[in-house]
């Protein structure tokens, strides 16, 4: 008997599920946006799932009660803080807000141009939101992103999340963003998300959809500028974030164009100091496949491949230098992470220059060296529809 009492007594001390909420008691948030309301208030917009509609596999967006079995609905409210706004959102809902499944956080353009980092505090401090939430800066209002009805996904939050997973552009989680803004450089970069309007020539046959078009540069907690899609590709090379990419170029010794697909790449940042002057060496190794040949070059000739590799190296170098010129010289924001590389490699030297880093970074010399190898050129050596008189 004593043995059973000893075994059962600890069970009496275990906590039960006193704070549980059933799924049918929760309003599950899958997308959120923050916009500037006025000088005093911030507007919070949330995208909430209608579980019954998703279970039936239907799409769309409707009123808060989800008429017609539509999959999500939007609620907005403003307040002095995000939590204050969330409390006012709760007043519109018969179910308790739940942040545990939130997929995206979109910062509106007007809010991003002001110091906005303090508005992220609730998403880090509160136990429900997840640090794997994807972050974006939007053109115009962030709430406009959530109201889009995507043609291929149930919700705009899902569509935005999938765009980043393809890795043709940046993918930044809240954890990534916090690491960047709290790094030695205190600079960050976020994907620039826009709503692509229908083509007037197509008309209503083409619905609105989301477009990941470039990046926003963040310095000291606010947006200082944005870069286009091509410059973003150069930034991805520097950050060693290239996973899927294509490069199209015109050979320097022939007419037509060649398109290659990146198989894999590796970027190394090596800081060097000479006579008190810092230089950053960017070393890129990339392996590529030719996927389209619109020239009259014979790709079966090793000499042609060698020359194409040189042209490809020049093209990638050009993209990287374009990113360096735009971000380093014009925006003066070290979102490349140069400061952290110097700190790791030369901690003593970094302590001597850290107070002057913002002044030193824009004038720092950057040397780019690319080594490209073309591994395969496809099932055909000659271009289709072009004269058989190939160049060597």
DSSP labels, 178-234:
HHHHTSSS-EEEEEEEEEEPPPTTTGGGS--EEEEEEEEEEETTEEEEEE-HHHHHH
Distance, CA of 134 to CA of 223 (rounded, Å):
17
In sign, the C-alpha dihedral spanning 174, 177, 179, 181 is negative
Length of the chain: 392
* Gap between the Cα atoms of 325 and 358, Å rounded: 16
Q: For position 50, what pLDDT does the model report?
A: 86
Would you state the pLDDT for residue 384? 60
Nearest to 316, CA basis, from 285, 271, 281: 285
Residue 50: what are its φ and ψ, rounded to 5°? -105, 100
Tokens of 315: 């093209």
Per-residue model confidence (pLDDT) at position 168: 77
Q: What is the pLDDT along the chain (392 residues), one digit of tens a residue?
A: 666 666 666 666 665 565 666 777 889 999 999 999 988 899 999 999 987 765 555 444 443 344 444 688 999 999 999 999 999 999 999 999 999 999 999 999 999 999 999 999 999 999 999 999 999 999 999 999 999 988 888 889 999 999 988 877 889 999 999 999 999 999 999 999 999 877 666 666 667 889 998 999 999 899 999 999 999 999 999 999 987 788 999 999 888 999 999 999 999 999 998 888 899 999 999 999 999 998 888 888 889 999 999 999 999 999 999 999 999 999 999 999 999 999 999 999 999 999 999 999 999 999 999 999 999 887 665 666 555 554 54
Distance CA 280, CA 366 (A): 5
Question: What's the confidence (pLDDT) of residue 6?
Answer: 66
pLDDT, residue 298, reads: 84
**154 and 307 in contact (C-beta within 8 Å)?**
no
Q: Which two tokens stand for residue 106?
A: 């979109």
Report the alpha-carbon angle 227-231-234, nearest 5: 135
pTM: predicted TM-score of the whole model, two decimal places = 0.85
């Amino acid at each position: 008997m004593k043995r059973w009492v000893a075994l059962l007594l600890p069970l009496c001390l275990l906590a039960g599920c006193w704070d549980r909420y059933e799924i049918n008691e929760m309003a599950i948030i899958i997308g959120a946006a923050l916009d500037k309301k006025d000088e005093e208030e911030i507007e919070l917009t949330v995208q909430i799932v209608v579980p019954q509609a998703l279970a039936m596999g239907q799409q769309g967006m409707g009123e808060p009660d989800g008429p017609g079995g539509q999959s999500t609905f939007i609620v907005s409210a403003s307040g002095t803080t995000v939590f204050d706004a969330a409390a006012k959102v709760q007043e519109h809902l018969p179910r308790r807000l739940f942040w545990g499944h939130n997929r995206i956080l979109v910062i509106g353009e007007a809010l991003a141009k002001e110091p906005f980092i303090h508005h992220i505090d609730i998403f880090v401090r509160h136990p429900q939101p997840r640090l794997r939430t994807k972050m974006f800066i939007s053109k115009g209002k962030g709430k406009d992103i959530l109201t889009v009805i995507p043609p291929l996904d149930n919700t705009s939050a899902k569509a935005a999340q999938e765009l980043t997973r393809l890795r043709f552009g940046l993918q930044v989680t809240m954890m990534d963003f916090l690491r960047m803004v709290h790094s030695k450089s205190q600079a960050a970069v976020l994907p620039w998300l826009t709503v692509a309007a229908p083509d007037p020539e197509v008309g209503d046959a083409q619905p609105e959809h989301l477009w990941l078009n470039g990046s926003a540069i963040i310095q000291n907690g606010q947006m200082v500028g944005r870069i286009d899609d091509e410059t973003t590709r150069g930034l991805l090379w520097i950050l060693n974030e290239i996973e899927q990419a294509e490069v199209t170029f015109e050979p320097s010794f022939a007419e037509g164009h060649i398109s290659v697909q990146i198989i894999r790449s590796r970027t190394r940042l090596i800081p060097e100091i000479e006579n008190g002057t810092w230089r950053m060496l960017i070393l890129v190794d990339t392996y590529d496949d030719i996927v389209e040949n619109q020239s009259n070059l014979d790709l079966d000739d090793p000499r042609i491949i060698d020359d194409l590799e040189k042209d490809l190296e020049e093209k990638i170098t050009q993209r990287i230098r374009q990113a360096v010129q735009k971000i380093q010289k014009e925006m003066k924001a070290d979102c490349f992470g140069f400061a952290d590389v110097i700190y790791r490699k030369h901690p003593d030297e970094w302590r001597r220059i850290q107070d002057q880093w913002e002044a030193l970074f824009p004038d720092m010399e950057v040397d780019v060296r690319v080594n490209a190898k073309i591994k395969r050129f496809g099932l055909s050596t000659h271009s289709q529809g072009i004269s058989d008189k190939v160049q060597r």
